[in-house]
Amino acid sequence: MAYYLGIDTSCYTTSCAIVDEDGRLVQEVRKLLEVPVGKRGLQQSQMVFQHTRALSTLLESLQLDQPIAAIGVSGFPRREENSYMPAFLVGLNVAKSLGHCMQIPVHVFSHQENHIWAALREIGEVPDGPFLSLHLSGGTTEFVICERIKGSGFQTTLVGTSDDIAAGQLVDRLGVLMGLPFPAGPTMEKLARKTKYQTDSVLPIAVQGATISFGGPYSAGQRWWESLEHPHIDWTNPSALQDEVEAQTLAASVFHCIGDSLEKALTYILKHHSLTTLVTAGGVMANTYLQKRLVHWGHHHNLDVLCVSPKYSADNASGNAYGAMIIEGDS
């Protein structure tokens, strides 16, 4: 039995995973980076420091009595020219060192490809022809047409994006404004569920073609929240999630805004490209409301929307391990 190691040092998660030659996940470990209370993120130097401390510990925690056949690792955010982020160098350098010492292949993917591979592993198949991928996270809002390249990753064509902040930044910035812990997505989703999403949105949408702006909705949400009489809430109080109606409204509005924006961009994309499959990934797409909404929308627009479990929609290294396994199978 052959085994494949995946490593990913993304903006806010250090992760390792092992899959077998059938693509089954054997082991995986991950550690969230620590963000100080009230902060909206980390500087790259801080990410590098935390990844460096965490990665060796995570690798040492993996238990396997069989040798690794190949390694997959995220080396940069996306395949476009000048795509670079220091955080990924931690995982890349460790993977190259391991590959050299173990005399095994190292396959370098983009972080975006890692998400695609992770989704396809859980879905259980790699499409033969072109498909649309949506990567929705703290740093990325991108619709990408993907086509598998034998012996490599994917040929990608960007067909939709945000022109200012990403969807995850809309979630995190308004969440931190309300006093939620960073990253704010999980707590924001709990708040929104209290309304069953049955509330009028207090946020506008701004979409031109397949280009989305989340900066305007953020500014509108900031003004709305700061106009309230109690903008600072003690979230250590268990009753806060239940009692703070305004916070519930804003949380639901954030996901309404993202959902409306995605559907409008998708409508434009499908008018210009003949695609029948959408694969979603990224931390924001771990939100169950957005998943159900896009699946429902796709059902009425001849689009098969494939979503994965929240655990593997969020940052993890299983995609890199799976990608390495697929590529080794090509040879």
Domains of the chain in start order, with CATH, are 3-127+313-330 (3.30.420.40), 167-274 (3.30.420.40)
Residue type, 209: G
Provide the pLDDT confidence category of residue 55 given band limits of 50, 70 and 90: very high
What is the percentage of the chain residues whose pLDDT exceeds 90? Answer: 74
- Overall average pLDDT of the 232-259 stretch: 82
**What's the per-residue H, E or C state across the chain?**
CCEEEEEEECCCEEEEEEEECCCCEEEEEEEECCCCCCCCCCCHHHHHHHHHHHHHHHHHHCCCCCCEEEEEEEEECCCCCCCCCCHHHHHHHHHHHHHHHHCCCEEEEEHHHHHHHHHHHHHCCCCCCCEEEEEECCCCEEEEEEEECCCCCEEEEEEEEECCCCHHHHHHHHHHHCCCCCCCHHHHHHHHHCCCCCCCCCCCCCEECCEECCHHHHHHHHHHHHCCCCCCCCCCCCCHHHHCHHHHHHHHHHHHHHHHHHHHHHHHHHHHCCCCEEEEECCHHHCHHHHHHHHHHHHCCCCEEECCCHHHHCCCCHHHHHHHHHHHHHC
- Overall average pLDDT of the 112-140 stretch: 92
pLDDT of residue 33: 93
pLDDT of residue 202: 95
pLDDT of residue 38: 73
- Overall average pLDDT of the 155-172 stretch: 95
Tens digits of residue pLDDT in 78-124: 776 667 889 999 999 999 999 999 999 999 999 999 999 999 999 99
- Overall average pLDDT of the 297-307 stretch: 96
pTM value? 0.89
What is the percentage of the chain residues whose pLDDT exceeds 70? Answer: 95
- Overall average pLDDT of the 172-180 stretch: 91
What's the whole-number average pLDDT of the chain? 92
For residue 224, pLDDT beyond 70: yes
